Homo-oligomer: A and B are copies of this chain.
Amino acid sequence: MDKRQELMNHAVHFFSIKGFHQTSVQEIAKAAGISKGAFYKHFDSKEGIFVEILKQYHEDLTRDLNSADFEPGLTNREFFKKKLLLEIERTVMNKEFFLMVFKDFPANDNELMQNLLQELRMAQLVLHKYSLLEVYGDRAKPFIYDLVTVYEGIKKEYYFYLIFENRPINKELLAEFIVASLDAIVSHSEKIQPVLTGFTSTISPLEEAYNQLEEQIKQTSSQREKHLSAFLMLKEEMAKQDAKAFLVEALLDYLKQEESLATELSTLEKFI
């Protein structure tokens, strides 16, 4: 057996149980029957093997989903349900991968990884959007992003039960239940107001950072008015071509005195 593959299999196992940071290279190597030093002949770092696992999984996933062929003559709903069932079965079969992803994740160290994940999530959202529109047509359109959100939320919650609690669940029944729940919501759509309306309008990351900070000041600041004024001046100044560095710094430092704003401020600082 390929030593490289063997290392990856053991790695995903340990990562799923202990998390990335709590797993040592040594125990991965030992499980594969080689020394720690030899590990580095196969992968250049611990993060390296993690990235390789991610890549391989998504390659396998897309290949599987594209090669699956269903019997013809299915209704849109039946087709949707079959695909859901396939996804459920696949997720349960790869439960270690699922656990690994939901455990400790080396994303903060590596910005490339965060972008990759963001892309994958967005791709899934778009996929679900079109699947649901095919099943429910125009009735679902006004609140399609809410429907996608509900769909993903329900699915994820059941995955947690399936995987963490290791409960014996009838997967066929589960797929039917989820689709039936969506049916119910869509058929009540006349009584339902959408929530995620302005979803598609993409705000720039900088705009988003501003919004977050403003919200946080409004919600938690002990000196709401002062902090809001400082924020507005900061935003104005940063928009200028010849922004005064000392003023930006001074306003940032001033706002930092409010502990609850730390997260938003550090996000904002990345744009300077």
Q: Which residues in A have some Cβ–Cβ distance to B below 8 Å?
A: 9-10, 13, 16-19, 21-22, 92-93, 96, 103-105, 108-109, 146, 149-150, 152-158, 161, 165-170, 173-174, 176-177, 180-181, 183-185, 187-188, 191-196, 198-199, 202, 208, 211-212, 215, 219-220, 259, 262-263, 266
* A153 lies within 8 A of B158 (CB): yes
Asked whether A157 and B168 contact (CB < 8 A) given A9-B259, A21-B19, A192-B181, the answer is no
Q: Please, how many angstroms separate the alpha-carbon atoms of A1 and B17 in the complex?
A: 39
Asked whether A220 and B93 contact (CB < 8 A) given A149-B154, A263-B17, the answer is yes
Other than the given A103-B104, A161-B196, A166-B211, 5 more pairs (CB < 8 A) read A17-B266, A150-B181, A168-B198, A168-B211, A183-B191
Q: Please, how many angstroms separate the alpha-carbon atoms of A263 and B215 in the complex?
A: 35
Q: Please, how many angstroms separate the alpha-carbon atoms of A105 and B183 in the complex?
A: 36
* A156 lies within 8 A of B158 (CB): no
Report chain B residues within 8 Å CB of A170: 195
Q: Which residue of B183, B193, B194 is within 8 Å of A188 (Cβ)?
A: B183
* B176 lies within 8 A of A181 (CB): no
* B166 lies within 8 A of A17 (CB): no
Q: State the main secondary structure of chain A at its contact with B.
A: helix
* B185 lies within 8 A of A262 (CB): no
Closest 4 A/B residue pairs (Cβ):
A153-B157, A104-B104, A184-B188, A153-B153
* A181 lies within 8 A of B177 (CB): no
Report chain B residues within 8 Å CB of A266: 17
* B166 lies within 8 A of A149 (CB): no
Report chain B residues within 8 Å CB of A155: 153
Asked whether A150 and B157 contact (CB < 8 A) given A188-B180, A259-B9, the answer is yes
Q: Which residue of B105, B168, B187, B212 is within 8 Å of A166 (Cβ)?
A: B212
* B158 lies within 8 A of A149 (CB): yes
Q: Which residue of B154, B166, B192, B193 is within 8 Å of A208 (Cβ)?
A: B166
